[in-house]
Amino acid sequence: MEAGNFEKPTPDQKIFKDQCAYCFKDPHYKDGLFINLKNYHAFCREHAEIYANHTGNTLFVQYSSKKVVVEERVDGEPTSKMTKLTIDADPKYEFEDKYSVVIHPNYNQQFNNVQSVEDIAEAIQTIANCTSAERLALLSSTSNAWDADIKLITKHANLDQQDNGKRLALSGWRCEAEDCGLDENLWVNLTDGAIRCGRSQFVAEGQKTNGNGHMQEYFAATGYPLVVKLGTISSNLESVDVYSYDEDDAVIDPNLEKHLIHFGLDPAKLEKTAKSTLEMELDMNEKWEWAKCTEDGAVLEPVYGPGYTGLINTGSSCYLNSVLQALIEVKSFRTRYSDGALETLLNCPIDTIHNDFNAQFAKVVLAMLSGDYSSETDPTHNNIKPLQFKRVAAGNHPEFSTAKQQDVEEYIRFLFEKISTNSKNEVIDPTDSLRFQTWNRFEDVATQKVRYTEQEEVILRLPIPELQAVLQPIPDTEGRFSVDMNVAIRSFFDTQFVDGYKSPITGEQKGATNTVSMKTFPDYLLFQVSKFAYTNQGVQKKLDVEFEVIEDLDLSAYRGHGKKENEESLPEETQPVPAVPEIPASVRAVAGELIMMGFGENSCYRAAYYSNGNAEVATNWLMEHTEDSDINDPFVMPSGTPSARGEVDPALVASIVEMGFTAHQAKYALKQAPNVTEAVDWLFTNMDSIPLETAATGTSSDAPEPSATEAANQKTFKDGSEKYKLIGMISHMGSRPDSGHYVAHMLKDGKWVLFNDEKVALSQDPPKKLAYIYLYKRVD
């Protein structure tokens, strides 16, 4: 302590005690965790030694937790201290925690009687009583993670509290409703200090909390909205359970301490004795029996060892689990995040490690490849839960930060950009092994002049909806078809006609053609089978097709070489933008339809413009904005980027994507031009100005965002043989890519292995015809 190895925990000290900072071992492992008394971060025995040698911080509290059977109390009295009870019906268990002081390197010498060292004893007491920093991060950043809501600041931050002289005791509360008297699941109303019981809630199958809903009745009678759960109040205000009845959600009260002290409840004098509503939800969902798909109900042989680690589903996270299982088969990912993991972790400041993307990615990949969590002889601690990685990787993304199911193809694109952004100062960007470039050859039909543009990609999208004419019916099935992979690949590289294109040279509207070819061939190549088509209502529907996959591919016929000597370049279009742009025909047409329905002319043009020329979207927009003060002001076609425009028609996006562009590029272009022809034309002349997708969906910044072309110029692209072999696939079960379930099948040591979240087994019949994403490795 005198040598500077000890810091007394502050009142707002974040204490990490659920998991090792460098791996996934927890207090239930042999030797438990070692919490460093300098910074209150936890390490397993192996990593405590490494950390102490690296930093010189040698003083630890060893924290171990053992599950023991508990007997029911015959008197029925509740315990005064909150215990971490499991939800097992019979028998019941609780965790017996043990704390000792150890000094590196003498881990076998444990100091158990430290009461005479007051600061150490108080630090241990703080560690024992606190809510872990890991759980606080989950509670505060994702809030109701299981229904994908984000906890918001209440509108009652400046609540008008009654000066009724009521002062509450610091314990011994009971429900004040007549003939109730419950002493658990109690809530205090912050308007007048009334105490009532909450609603009874399910915490497990067949198991509910006690509660008669008297606080809800009290709100209905008084209208006093803001309540706090007694027993969750402590100096750590982040873990206090605050609920707003008229906002119908758990909320953040920025003036919580002031509101509590008004009725004599000083958080500094209270200790947490009950779980919050959200904590009970988390406990229940962590034990949920998630439905899993198997291969036709076959009994599969489990497989264990390095690279066979199961990933626990943390709530519709199978898309992430499947992607991680595929990526660890890519050599550059193993090199960056496994071989270099310890260096990454040690070089990351300990105070930022839990929110550092590179550190969390390294922690997950290292664990997956270690074999420590995939043991046949001791399956007690098999599988890991990449919850922290999911949170850090998603950041504040509006979709990936929720617990909703996601489209695995969209997540791959998002994750790759995140990796590249966090690899600027690194020797290896592992996504370089999968990135490739294509040539887009655009030809003006009227003049036969051409324009070549380069485009970066990470997934080659194979069209299916456009191949209806060549789909082969599958015998003995109803409405089920098959498509040959060669046909799908050929369709992607076939020349596409752009109808309505007006030649910038002759002024003739004879259209244009666009042809895609490969400029580079990466070490690993991802294919997406576009099994989803949009209905007339703009809803995605899965096509009932089987894909006749080719395991050994030769794509040499699709290599491009750029502009040929005998080709003339189509000049860049530099026509000045008129001061008042002409209203596009598609906008005029939709506005005309709305005018015929009886709406005002200016409001109709405004609705047609902000809905990208889609009649159905325009009608909905008009209904939602009828009360706008400027709805009938004279409409002038805006110039520049129409950033306020509404949702882009997914059918139009799909049409542009089929020409070889990404969904992000298509959406961005449709916000600059209202129809497919003009949007495609805009893309070929403005490709350099499109921001990266992560920039478009991330947080705002004053710094200019790099364009896709600028970013591509900073990246490197592998190039080599055009021959590939299938080594993995991600399959989807469900009607839409953002619902259902994902599993991965990977070819390892010559055998196909099924990765179904935490279930890892040898595959008897890998569904090669049904996959959504295919991973190929180059064969030199």
> Which residues participate in the annotated binding site?
175, 180, 187, 197, 199-202, 214, 243, 245, 248
3-class DSSP assignment, residue 593: helix
Element (H, E) at 195: strand 195-197
Q: Across-strand partners of 482?
A: 472, 546
HSE, CB side, 13 Å, CA atoms: give it for residue 212: 14
3-class DSSP assignment, residue 769: coil
The contacts of residue 16 (CB under 8 Å, 6+ apart) are 35, 40, 41, 42, 132, 133, 134, 354
Backbone angles phi, psi at 716, to 5 degrees: -110, 150
Binding residues for substrate: 187, 199-202, 243, 245, 248
Q: How is residue 2 written in tokens?
A: 């005198």
Nearest-angstrom CA–CA distance, 486 and 554? 10
Residue whose structure tokens are 């912050």:
190
Nearest-angstrom CA–CA distance, 39 and 57? 9
Q: How many CB atoms lie within 10 A of CB 579?
A: 6
Residues 201 and 215 sit within 8 Å (Cβ to Cβ): no
What are the E-state strand segments in 84-170?
93-103, 106-111, 152-153
Catalytic residue among 156, 262, 741, 745: 741
Residues 203 and 283 sit within 8 Å (Cβ to Cβ): yes
The yes-or-no answer on residue 604 being catalytic is: no
Residues 331 and 718 sit within 8 Å (Cβ to Cβ): no
DSSP state of 1: -
Residues 197 and 211 sit within 8 Å (Cβ to Cβ): yes
Query: In angstroms, what is the C-alpha Rg of the chain?
Result: 30
Length of the chain: 780
Catalytic residue among 23, 318, 348, 604: 318
The yes-or-no answer on residue 318 being catalytic is: yes
Residues 406 and 738 sit within 8 Å (Cβ to Cβ): yes
Residues 720 and 425 sit within 8 Å (Cβ to Cβ): no
Element (H, E) at 228: strand 226-229
Query: Residue 381, class by beta-carbon neighbours within 10 Å (0-12 exposed, 13-18 middle, 19+ buried)?
Result: middle
How far, rounded to the nearest angstrom, does the alpha carbon of residue 290 sit from its chain's CA centroid?
A: 19
List, by residue number, the catalytic residues: 318, 741
